[in-house]
Amino acid sequence: MKFPSSTAFALLGAALIAISYGLARFAFGLFVPPIRADLELAPDVIGVIGALPLISFVFATLLAPLSADRLGARNTAMASGLFGVVGLGLISQAGGAISLGLGVIACGICTGLMMPALTAAMQALVRRSLHGRVSSVMNAGTSIGVIVAVPTILFLAGAWRYAYASFAVLALIGVLATWFFIPSVSRVVPSNAAPAEPISADQWWRLFRLSLFAFMMGFVSAAYWIFAPDLVVNLGEMPSDYTGWLWLGVGIAGLGGAVVADLADRNNPPITQALMLMMLAASLALLAASPDNLAIAAFSSLVFGLAYMSLTGLYLMTGIRLLPGRLSMGPVLPFIAISLGQASGSPVVGTLVGSIGYADAFALFCVIGIVVAILSPFYPRYLEYDPEDEGELDTGLQAAYDYQLQNEEGEPLTPVTGKSESY
């Protein structure tokens, strides 16, 4: 079996993330209007169903590192893909809230298992000097998947079952690709790598603050991910196929999120987080204020996509830096917090939509986002070093990865030219 090169692996990982994140997870909100109409579901029911994949995602993410270590990267990625096939297939055949809920739960498991499996494969296949670049390409798969979902709503707005059936076929193709190209081993740690230091009280305190901000960002963003298309259809009276332009904007702007996150790492993370949270809140306000204006609605999606993907990238790098030597924990904690926030926010916004209406519900979530942005000075500053050392710190996602593995002298391990690429 011939394993892919670093470039091929990055592209394969982006494709698998596009399926597991873009189609199995985030495309659901795009199809809420026709699903609600066909299955006759109330907003609060949709809110609860929208929270289910986020809860299953959290449990799957907690088990994924153990699965990758025991079962290997290939088997874990294949399990993720099979859950995606089953979940997407169940959604395509859903006859009510229960079957729809089971489908989205399976999709959440698919999402939770995929990235840890790909990370384990990356540790084994890709030189550590390329981990940051490969991770950035794979993370972009989320935006690519969201973009791929757009033509389905434009041409299959009234046939969401066929759209989800086509997603299931793509997930099955992803399973076959996983079998042929992903290695069975889990990540390999160099023999001279020092064990991770115990987590200090200061690290726990910073992780708590990071997780709290990530939770609140997920809470606020749930309104857009689940109910933005429903808002423009029901409040703005737009045709269902117009909602595709929202997700197109989210996907395109999301591709720029990695750049903003890297700039935040080089400059001031708290200020960048405040700016991005304000943009996230503004996207909700724009959509609620002009749900019948396609141009403004599309602009709000651009703002939301850039803000959301930038914040997730920022939280990723912060989590990695706060826990050197713990790649199975550092990047995972903020993403679990985001999902818990979305799982909490989804039923809340669904209940508010049913009681006070779309506009007021979105306005309330906008206010929450602004309040959280004001609290950004409490964002954990992981660049707190002595003044003489500040200029020596490398920045960006690759630097965050490089800092994870240290030798017995406490110095970061550096790749040796011509050596094995096993780590």
With residue 33 as reference, give the H or E element that holds it.
Answer: helix 32-39
Residue-level length of the chain: 423
The verdict on 224 and 164 lying in the same domain is no
Q: Is residue 388 part of a domain?
A: no
137 close to 9: Cβ distance less than 8 angstroms:
no
Q: Which residues pair with 406 in a beta bridge?
A: 412
Does the pTM surpass 0.85? The reply is no
Q: Is residue 60 part of a domain?
A: yes
Structural domain span for residue 355 = 197-383+393-401
Q: Is residue 271 part of a domain?
A: yes
pLDDT tens for the 423 residues of the chain, in order: 566 678 888 899 999 999 999 899 888 888 888 898 899 898 889 989 989 998 999 999 888 888 887 888 899 999 999 999 999 999 999 999 999 999 999 999 999 999 888 888 887 788 777 777 788 788 888 888 888 888 887 776 568 899 899 999 999 999 999 998 887 765 555 555 556 667 788 888 989 999 999 999 999 999 999 889 889 888 888 887 777 888 888 888 888 876 776 677 677 888 889 999 999 999 999 999 988 888 899 999 999 999 998 898 888 888 877 877 666 677 788 888 998 999 899 999 999 998 999 899 999 999 999 999 999 999 987 544 333 344 445 666 666 666 666 655 555 555 433 333 333
The verdict on 173 and 307 lying in the same domain is no
Other residues' Cβ atoms within 10 Å of the Cβ of residue 1: 9
Tell me the C-alpha distance between 296 and 291, whole Å.
8
Q: Is residue 92 part of a domain?
A: yes
The verdict on 60 and 158 lying in the same domain is yes
Q: What CATH code is carried by the domain that includes residue 119?
A: 1.20.1250.20
Count how many domains the chain has. Answer: 2
For tokens 């986002």, the residue is 369
Q: Is residue 415 part of a domain?
A: no
The verdict on 267 and 301 lying in the same domain is yes
Sign of CA dihedral 162, 358, 337, 139: positive
The verdict on 212 and 155 lying in the same domain is no
Any residues with CB less than 8 A from the CB of 295 and at least 6 apart, and which? none
Q: Is residue 409 part of a domain?
A: no
The verdict on 220 and 362 lying in the same domain is yes
Tell me the C-alpha distance between 74 and 70, whole Å.
11
Tell me the C-alpha distance between 411 and 388, whole Å.
18
- Reference 161, options 35, 44, 316; nearest CA is 35
User: Which amino acid, 363?
Assistant: A
The verdict on 397 and 321 lying in the same domain is yes
Q: Is residue 191 part of a domain?
A: no
Tell me the C-alpha distance between 139 and 27, whole Å.
16
What the block records as the tokens of 376 is 């950004």
Burial class (CB in 10 A: 0-12, 13-18, 19+), 225: buried
